[in-house]
Structure 1
């Protein structure tokens, strides 16, 4: 069905008004800043925006203006802005998690090395005690701890 020039002009005006509303952030509930919502807001069939259809140039204009806003850091759709913010937060949290895993690995390696050194030092002490000459004047300390009486 063909539409008259007057109807086409009215449709284009409604589409342009809907474009302006969407790009100002006046997103209807359940909608987004996209062609589907634009067509619904303007009361035009969505397929008219694709290919060589009568309103394809308006779709291109809408997408171009939307890209300009996004490149300037503005996001008319609060849902899209929230999604972008949450994705950035997820990326930061993933980086922190990777750093935490790296730190845990380093500390686990350090703990293993420290335990190995302590075990080697203990073995060396036991070896030196066993090799000590019983006729030396070295006094052996008691192996049990005695109570120390003092100001502490």
Structure 2
């Protein structure tokens, strides 16, 4: 079924108006910033945007304008913006996780070294005590029977 020039002009005006709304981020519920939504908003058959159909030049224009917005850092589709934000946040969290794991590994190595040093020092103290107990020149003082309180007034 052929359409008149007036109908085609009216359809192109509806398509351009819908295109402007979508590129401003005014998406219908459940819609995306894509050709399917554009066709639905303009009340035009989606197949008219492909091949040698009458509105293929408008599809090319829509995709060019959408790409230009995306290159400028503006994403009209809030879901796409959310996906991009979540991907960035995910990458940052992965970096933080890797840094945390490295810190945990460093602390684990430090703990292992500290325990090894404490064990070696304990062994040395035990050996020194045994050596000191076997030497006759060292005498041990008996424990004090009264405790002296420094600075008390009776």
TM over 0.5: yes
Cα deviation code 1:65-105 (max 9, x no counterpart): 11111222222222322222222222222221221111111
Q: Which residue of 2 aligns with 1:111?
A: 111
Matches of 1:20 and 1:54, distance apart in 2: 19
Q: What corresponds to 2:135 in structure 1?
A: 134
CA shift at 1:58, angstroms?
Answer: 1.0
Question: How large is the RMSD of aligned CA atoms in angstroms?
Answer: 2.5
Shift of 1:20: 0.7
Q: Could you say if the C-alpha distance between residues 109 and 9 of structure 1 is closer, same or farther in structure 2, counting changes exceeding 3 Å?
A: same
Deviation (angstroms), 1:62: 0.7
- Taking the aligned partners of 1:93 and 1:127, their CA distance within structure 2 comes to 51
Q: Find the aligned partners of 1:55 and 1:141 in 2 and give their Cα distance.
A: 108
Report the alpha carbon displacement of residue 59 of structure 1 after superposing the two structures with TM. Answer: 1.1
Cα–Cα, structure 1 residues 141 and 29, in superposed 2: closer, same or farther, change >3 Å?
A: farther
Question: In structure 1, what is the equivalent of residue 56 of structure 2?
Answer: 56
* 1:125-144 residue CA offsets vs partner (Å, 9 max, x unmatched): 222322334213365898xx
Q: TM-score, normalised by structure 1?
A: 0.82
For the pair shown, the structure with the greater C-alpha radius of gyration is 2
Change (3 A) 1:141 1:86: farther
Distance of 1:148 and 1:87 partners within structure 2 = 70
